[in-house]
Structure 1
């Protein structure tokens, strides 16, 4: 029996190794290989050419600002929502808990497109509405900036950060806070000196995971960054291999090594932080009934803030996408706009063979990819937890 389990473990290790280490190995070999293949003679020419490009410095700065900004935005909003939903008497918290993770159901590309439809400087619907109301000569907002990218990516990464922080906060040992209050600390001081320090592993883990997701993000930088000529590493690499007459795979592999090393380092840090979090009784599975903090006069102002954030997260992007699909061109909602609504765009898409093929391919990839991922994850998790190997 043990021999069969060992064979199963080795088989799983081999499969995972081929699927993960294989592409990484090809990237490493390609970055040091002369020519277009990964098995040419050794050379450093690709690294020299890639890292002496004057444009790379600006790209690296943009990447650092984008990744840090989006991770801070996602972690801060997740901490704010998790605290209100798990520790306070804010109304309709059950609904806000669902809304906090619903953006995971919206494709990142469509979410970014919805914000481009709202706040692009030429004909963004929200910009046009503000210009009409206040008599402005130019659009007040431009989503095609680094700060627009940070906002949208932060909102997209909010759910995953929330799913890390909220359970830790829900299992918080209230005895620690009660002890703080016994010694005279108020709610605010207890939050800063007791609650947040104990939750530090979960908060840092969420932040690091936000960094990884921001570094790997392509939808937001491609939809919002490229029109404004704001490049990060993801779009910079894309342009190296997808534009021009001759794709520069070698230089792209060399630049990609910096992304790879950074991502692996962040994942190692993330694993270390989650391992540290398991040492805390508040994250180790013990159940508690957290003391509900009464917001009193701040209850309804906080409710308004969370409701507005929920509107921005879910209602606004879905509504603008659906509305734009019905009107002939981008226009501010009005009586004339509603009179021009039709299903023309829907009919054109459903009658287009290429669109239907794309839809079938997307569904197939989604179903098959998710199924294979879940099955493989189950077997790998079983092997890690249950199977003992020498």
Structure 2
């Protein structure tokens, strides 16, 4: 008779089994079902239906729109991010430390809320800026129609450029300055040095940030849904949503969605392949260590104008849309002039205390964020330990599975979860809060693996070996030695997951039910239903919750690191 007491939770075999089980259940099965459902019908290969969906004019147009928008946002976001990164790291710009922090603010704010604000400002007929432009200044045409490719690209650029900004800042701060100084001594001008030396030096970081912008833009739902659908501009994620939403989630529509999802996955794979191909040439690998920082470039007469440019950009992209959200949320009726006599707090009171829909959405988002962060944090520790510390076959495949959702669009993850957990395989959690939780766990697993793996790399194997030599079981060694040492990584993983989950829209908009709306879904559906004032009020409340969470996180990390 098998004695269960001989099998302990801490054995390597069980840890490996748990890691495999988590990743297969939450990641591999949903993603594989996407491809299986797209290619197979009733147990037989069916390429006819797939070709039919892919050959439809709507599919072609949505893919073309996705590529146009992604290309435009990538170009503009890379240019803006690289310019401001150079400005705050390599020049004597005044207050550049504060400027660097302010340029990171858009990274913390949901882009679909920004899109809602710009819709209120630049809607062709009722946008406040366009109304002022035409009625007060006397122009016959609006300044900018936000319901256009240009409008969508500009709004997405405002919120995605930090991907390049962060990476280029880091590369410029680490860069060996001797080549630039040699060129300067040889008489080369600033533009020549920047074009021939500085940009090639940081090209890998620029390309890496540009890749992230391109992938996020390809998979972006919120901005295109807010600004594009009204003008007939659909990308692949919004087309998937429309097909499923119009058919009330029928399996025929879901299958169409899986075919469209394969287009996103293949496109993302091609983007990653292209980046690796470019970087593998190795001609840009000339960043080296240094013992001193690069000399600052003196802007001289341009210091004040460039500072004003930075402040104007921050005011235009952060302050103006944020103020618009709160002011419109306080209007008696949308479209009225923003004057004291037209303002009221009744909308905010209604959102927070009277309307069950929005109140439940807030608690759903907070609950989902906390639950997904806790579950994924602990699961990530187990999987990361197997990947980093255990000598077992197949751990490279585990790492691949864990990172897979990071490169797969959120709409693909949502469809995979629908296929896996809607009753076809014995478990039906569709239209419940649990299916959103499962999707969040899959979506954010990569964040936990990255944070916990980095922490585990710093724990020397001798510490666990010493504990085992002293008589501790594997589980005791993990509990008493490893977990306390990797606690900072666990905490980082928790907040890396909690904050994005709090403002998530792309996944939850395909999974929500009548009582399971999240904050993002509530804002989107209110706007879709024409409740612009309530949508703005809800967005204002969401911004307060998100910023408060960001501040608490920062203080928590500061307190933790000082211990």
Q: 2: CA distance between counterparts of 1:176 and 1:6?
A: 52
What is the aligned partner in structure 2 of residue 309 from structure 1? 313
1:254 to 227, 251, 259: 259
Identify if the C-alpha distance between structure 1 residues 385 and 194 changes in structure 2 by more than 3 Å, giving closer, same or farther. Answer: farther
1:120-152: CA deviations, max 9, x gaps?
112111111212321234423211111111111
What is the aligned partner in structure 2 of residue 320 from structure 1? 324
Q: Which residues of 2 match residues 56-95 of structure 1 at below 5 A?
A: 56-95=59-98
Q: Which residues of 2 match residues 132-151 of structure 1 at below 5 A?
A: 132-151=135-154
Runs of 4+ in 1 over 6 A off after TM superposition: 271-277
The answer to whether the 8 Å contact 1:125/1:332 transfers is no
Identify if the C-alpha distance between structure 1 residues 285 and 118 changes in structure 2 by more than 3 Å, giving closer, same or farther. Answer: farther
What is the aligned partner in structure 2 of residue 26 from structure 1? 33
1:292 to 291, 296, 301: 296
Identify if the C-alpha distance between structure 1 residues 271 and 142 changes in structure 2 by more than 3 Å, giving closer, same or farther. Answer: same
SS in 2 for 1:248: helix
The answer to whether the 8 Å contact 1:99/1:310 transfers is yes
Q: 2: CA distance between counterparts of 1:310 and 1:373?
A: 35
The answer to whether the 8 Å contact 2:85/2:165 transfers is yes
Structure 2 unaligned regions, length at least 5: 1-9, 394-563
Identify if the C-alpha distance between structure 1 residues 255 and 149 changes in structure 2 by more than 3 Å, giving closer, same or farther. Answer: same
SS in 2 for 1:231: coil
The answer to whether the 8 Å contact 1:83/1:166 transfers is yes
The answer to whether the 8 Å contact 1:161/1:207 transfers is yes
Instruction: Kindly state the Cα deviation for residue 322 of structure 1 after the two structures are TM-superposed.
Output: 0.4
Alignment pair present for 1:264 and 2:269: yes
The answer to whether the 8 Å contact 2:175/2:289 transfers is no
Q: 2: CA distance between counterparts of 1:297 and 1:371?
A: 52
The answer to whether the 8 Å contact 2:93/2:306 transfers is yes
Identify if the C-alpha distance between structure 1 residues 380 and 148 changes in structure 2 by more than 3 Å, giving closer, same or farther. Answer: farther
The answer to whether the 8 Å contact 1:202/1:274 transfers is no
1:354-383: CA deviations, max 9, x gaps?
211111001112222334444444554554
What is the aligned partner in structure 2 of residue 355 from structure 1? 358
TM-score normalised by L of structure 2: 0.63
Q: 1: CA distance between counterparts of 2:379 and 2:76?
A: 33
Structure of higher RCO (CA pairs closer than 8 Å, 6+ residues apart): 1
Alignment pair present for 1:15 and 2:22: yes
SS in 2 for 1:252: helix
Alignment pair present for 1:329 and 2:333: yes
Instruction: Kindly state the Cα deviation for residue 79 of structure 1 after the two structures are TM-superposed.
Output: 0.3
TM-score normalised by L of structure 1: 0.89
Instruction: Kindly state the Cα deviation for residue 19 of structure 1 after the two structures are TM-superposed.
Output: 2.4
Q: 1: CA distance between counterparts of 2:101 and 2:374?
A: 24
Identify if the C-alpha distance between structure 1 residues 218 and 302 changes in structure 2 by more than 3 Å, giving closer, same or farther. Answer: same
Instruction: Kindly state the Cα deviation for residue 208 of structure 1 after the two structures are TM-superposed.
Output: 1.0
Structure 1 unaligned regions, length at least 5: none
The answer to whether the 8 Å contact 2:124/2:144 transfers is yes
Instruction: Kindly state the Cα deviation for residue 196 of structure 1 after the two structures are TM-superposed.
Output: 0.5
The answer to whether the 8 Å contact 2:144/2:151 transfers is no
What is the aligned partner in structure 1 of residue 46 from structure 2? 43
